[in-house]
Structure 1
Amino acid sequence: MGVVGERSVGGGGVPEKLRPGRASRLRGTEFWHPMGQVGRVLAMRRYEHANSVRFLTFSCLHRLPLFRSRAAKDVFVAQLQRTRERHTFLLHAWVLMPEHVHLVLRANSESDVPTTLRTLKGGVARRLIADWRSRGAGGLERLERADGSMAFWQSGGGYDRNCRDLDEIREKIDYCHINPVRRGLVERPGDWVWSSARFWQGQREGEIACDHLR
Structure 2
Amino acid sequence: MKEGYVIRDQSLPHFLTVTIVDWVDVFSRKSYRDCVIECFEYCIKNKGMTVYSYVIMSNHIHMIVQSNEGKLSDLIRDFKKFTSKTILEKIQSEPESRREWMLERFKLATESHSRNKNFQFWQLGNHAEEIYSEKFMWSKIDYIHFNPVRAGIVSNPQDYIYSSASNYIDLKGIIDVEIVQIPVVNVLKSSSVVKYNSYEK
TM-score category of the 2 structures, normalised to the smaller one? 0.7 to 0.9
Q: Does 1:107 align with 2:64?
A: no
Q: Is the 8 A contact 2:47 2:75 kept in 1?
A: yes
Q: Give the TM-score, by structure 2 length.
A: 0.76
> Which residue pairs with 2:174 in the alignment?
207
> Which residue pairs with 2:190 in the alignment?
none
SS at match of 1:103: strand
Cα distance change, pair 138–49 in 1 and its aligned pair in 2 (3 A): closer
* 1:194 positional shift: 0.4
> Which residue pairs with 1:15 in the alignment?
none
Counterparts of 1:90-169 in structure 2 under 5 Å?
90-108=50-68, 110=70, 112-135=71-94, 137-139=99-101, 140-144=103-107, 145-146=110-111, 149-155=118-124, 157-169=125-137
Q: Where in structure 1 are there 5+ consecutive unaligned residues?
A: 1-37
Q: Is the 8 A contact 2:167 2:179 kept in 1?
A: no
* 1:108 positional shift: 3.2
Q: Is the 8 A contact 2:10 2:73 kept in 1?
A: no
d(CA) in 1 for partners of 2:78, 2:9: 22
d(CA) in 2 for partners of 1:170, 1:152: 30
Q: Is the 8 A contact 2:145 2:157 kept in 1?
A: yes
Cα distance change, pair 196–143 in 1 and its aligned pair in 2 (3 A): same
Deviations 1:156-177 (A, max 9, x none): x120011121111011111110
SS at match of 2:75: helix
> Which residue pairs with 2:41 in the alignment?
81
* 1:47 positional shift: 7.9
Deviations 1:77-111 (A, max 9, x none): 1111111112113211011110111111222355x
Instruction: Decide which moves more: 162-171 or 50-59.
Output: 50-59
Which protein has the bigger helix share?
Answer: 2
Q: Does 1:188 align with 2:156?
A: yes
* 1:116 positional shift: 1.3
Counterparts of 1:1-16 in structure 2 under 5 Å?
none
* 1:72 positional shift: 1.3
Cα distance change, pair 133–50 in 1 and its aligned pair in 2 (3 A): closer
Q: What is the identity percentage for the equivalent residue pairs of Structure 1 and Structure 2?
A: 22
User: Counterpart amino acid of 2:168?
Assistant: W
> Which residue pairs with 2:166 in the alignment?
198
Report the RMSD for the aligned CA atoms in angstroms: 2.3
**Residues paired across the two proteins, number:** 171
Instruction: Decide which moves more: 82-91 or 162-171.
Output: 82-91
Q: Where in structure 2 are there 5+ consecutive unaligned residues?
A: 182-201
Cα distance change, pair 68–84 in 1 and its aligned pair in 2 (3 A): same
Q: Is the 8 A contact 2:7 2:128 kept in 1?
A: no
